[in-house]
Structures are given as structure tokens and as C-alpha cells.
């Protein structure tokens, strides 16, 4: 059902925006070029961000239960805030590199006998952007974030140790799935939606992250899936332009809801097929609630 709804919404947005694209004004008048590639870094204010959180790993084909995990993360990058225009609304953007540890021991030292503990090191680079509200002493920034990631999972135990709960054959099958990730760097992607409260140099963040770790990399299917995903986001960009031109005060909320809703819908489809809509394997996924502090210089 979710696939049919997603495809209908995707087609509707794409067709609607194509018809009205000639009326777009904001993307040109604001100085922000929507064709600017997300990996292009430009000068800005350096920042350091520290995040922590807790999450749940999952795999559609895995019968064994993976233990909940905690997260510790650091980001280094550059931030840019455009000058406010009507209604105190402004565009903001961050480009960054990051390093994270995602581990059961960061969540709890007490192991449950029917769960499998793990530890994962990951790194990558990404982009966070959106439209925020500027007030006298605070900026409120609902954001959309995406990144590419390389992750190395290390299982602290295998399903064979808990097979009475799932059966010996299921334990063997689960072990084969996990061995494809264990002690190997794997490519993946992540998306996050959240809100940032900026008090000058110091900001407080809260977000929800959904990440995908591929068991292997299938180049052409990944490129095809990525192209479809980006086409939808570009269409949303154009529609959000129209909203901001008509009602700037609504822009940050509309951008936050539409893009994060779209990203989570696409993530949900990738939980079954890592390079949706192509017939590919199920990936390892993580959903994480995060909190953080950012220092901007």
C-alpha cells in the first residue's frame, strides 16, 4: 500500500511542478542556486557538533533480534546562513564530515540473552539545510539532512548462541546474513530530520535519523535508485519555492514536513529493497533519536 501511495504522490508532484516551474522566482532572486551540487563546499563559518542518542537496528530478513544501540558522534564542517528576508525567514546550510560510534555498550551494559550486541564505527560526509526563523536572540531552524556513510560492523555474538529462541536453521541463516557485514566496511546512506535552536555561537539540536547499510554495492541499480530519489526531491524544491514566494512565513514548516516525509517514505521502501525500485537485497537499517550541541565560530 505504501508503494502505491508513494508512487502516486511522486508522480503528482513531478507533473505539477513541471507545469509551474516557469513561474519560480525565489531560487534565483535569493542568490541560492538549486543546481549547486550538495557536495560542493563553499566558505562559511567553521563549526563543531557533538551528538549522542539511542537507536534500534533492524533487518527485514533477520529473525534474531539485534540489541538496541547508543550513538556518539562528532561533526566538523562549515555553516552558511543567508540574510533574512520577508518575515525573518532565512536559508541555512551546513556541509560536514563526521565520525560516529554506534554500539550496544553505549546504550546499556546489561545484555539480554535473546538479543545480539554489536558495535559499529562509521564515517562520511553530508549536508544539512533548510529554512529558519530569525528572531532577536534566537534562530529556530527546522532542518533536512542527508549523508553518505561507510560503516564497519562488529558483532559481539552470533545467532548460534541464542538458537533455542529461533531454531538452529534460522540461527545459521541469520549468521550468514550478519557475516556479510561483520568486520567489513560497507557503503550506505542516511537521512535525518530535526530542529536546531541557535543562540549565537551555541546551538541545541534534536533529530531523528534513518540510515541504510548495504550488504554490497550494485553500481547501476544504486545510480538508478538515487536518480529517482533525487528527481522527487528536486520536484519538491520547486514546489517549496512557490510556497516561499507566496508565503515566506510558511516556507520553513512546509520544507521540513514535505522533504522529511518524502525521505522517510523512500527509506521505508529501501528497507525491503536497498536500491528500490530495483530487485535488490534487504539492507541493515538503523533508526536513531539524536540530541546534540553545535559550536559555531
Residue 83 is predicted with a pLDDT of 80
The average pLDDT across 83-104 equals 91
- Could you read off the pLDDT of 13-51 as tens digits, one per residue? 444 434 343 333 334 333 334 344 555 666 789 999 999
The average pLDDT across 111-124 equals 90
Backbone angles phi, psi at 284, to 5 degrees: -85, 135
Residue 230 is predicted with a pLDDT of 97
Q: Where are the beta strands (DSSP E) in the chain?
A: 45-59, 65-66, 69-81, 89-103, 115-116, 118-134, 139-155, 185-199, 202-213, 284-296
pTM of the model: 0.85
Give CA 119 to chain center in angstroms.
Answer: 20
pLDDT band at 87; cut points 50, 70, 90: confident
Residue 259 is predicted with a pLDDT of 98
Q: Please name each of the domains of the chain with its CATH number.
A: 54-220+269-296 (2.40.160)
Task: Return the percentage of the chain with pLDDT > 90, whole number.
Answer: 71
- Nearest CA among 128, 33, 134, 85 for reference residue 245: 85
Q: Name the DSSP class of 64.
A: S
Q: Name the DSSP class of 75.
A: E
For the chain, give the mean pLDDT.
87
- Please indicate whether residue 153 or residue 166 has the higher confidence score (pLDDT): 153
Contact 132, 155 (CB under 8 A): no
Which residues, in sequence order, are bridge partners of residue 56?
Answer: 287
Q: Which pairing describes strands 139-155 and 185-199: parallel, antiparallel, or unpaired?
A: antiparallel
Cell for 46?
Answer: 567553521
Residue 169 is predicted with a pLDDT of 84
Alpha-carbon gap, residue 295 to 297, rounded angstroms: 7
Burial (CB count within 10 angstroms: exposed 0-12, middle 13-18, buried 19+), residue 241: buried
Residue 81 is predicted with a pLDDT of 92
Q: Which of 14-28, 81-95, 165-179, 201-215 has the highest mean pLDDT?
A: 201-215
- Please indicate whether residue 100 or residue 39 has the higher confidence score (pLDDT): 100
Specify the residue for cell string 550468514. 176
Residue 108 is predicted with a pLDDT of 83
Amino acid at each position: 500500500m505504501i508503494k502505491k501511495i508513494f508512487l502516486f504522490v511522486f508522480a503528482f508532484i513531478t507533473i505539477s511542478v513541471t507545469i509551474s516551474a516557469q513561474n519560480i522566482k525565489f531560487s534565483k532572486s535569493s542568490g541560492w542556486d538549486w543546481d549547486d551540487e550538495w557536495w560542493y563546499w563553499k566558505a562559511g563559518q567553521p563549526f563543531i557538533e557533538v551528538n549522542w542518542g539511542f537507536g534500534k537496528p533492524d533487518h527485514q530478513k533477520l529473525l534474531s533480534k539485534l540489541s538496541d544501540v547508543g550513538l556518539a558522534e562528532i561533526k566538523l564542517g562549515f555553516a552558511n546562513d543567508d540574510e533574512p528576508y520577508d518575515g525573518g525567514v532565512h536559508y541555512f546550510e551546513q556541509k560536514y564530515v563526521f565520525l560516529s560510534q554506534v554500539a550496544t555498550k553505549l546504550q546499556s551494559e546489561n545484555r539480554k540473552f535473546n538479543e545480539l550486541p554489536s558495535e559499529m564505527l562509521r564515517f562520511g560526509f553530508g549536508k544539512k539545510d533548510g529554512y529558519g526563523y530569525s528572531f532577536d536572540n534566537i534562530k529556530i531552524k527546522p532542518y533536512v539532512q542527508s549523508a553518505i556513510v561507510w560503516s564497519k560492523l562488529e558483532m559481539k555474538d552470533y545467532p548460534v548462541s541464542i538458537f533455542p529462541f529461533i531454531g538452529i536453521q534460522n540461527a545459521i541463516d541469520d549468521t550468514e546474513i550478519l557475516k556479510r557485514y561483520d568486520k567489513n566496511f560497507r557503503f550506505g546512506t542516511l537521512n535525518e530530520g530535526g530542529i536546531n535552536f541557535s543562540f549565537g555561537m551555541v546551538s541545541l539540536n534534536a533529530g531523528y535519523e534513518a540510515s541504510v547499510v548495504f550488504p554490497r554495492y550494485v553500481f547501476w541499480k544504486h545510480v538508478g535508485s538515487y536518480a529517482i530519489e533525487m528527481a522527487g526531491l528536486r520536484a519538491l524544491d520547486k514546489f517549496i519555492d512557490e510556497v516561499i514566494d507566496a508565503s515566506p512565513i510558511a516556507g520553513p514548516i512546509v520544507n521540513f514536513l514535505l522533504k522529511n516525509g518524502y525521505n522517510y517514505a523512500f527509506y521505508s521502501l529501501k528497507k525491503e529493497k536497498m536500491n528500490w525500485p530495483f530487485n535488490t537485497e534487504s539492507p541493515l537499517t538503523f533508526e536513531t533519536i539524536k540530541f546534540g550541541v553545535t559550536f559555531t565560530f
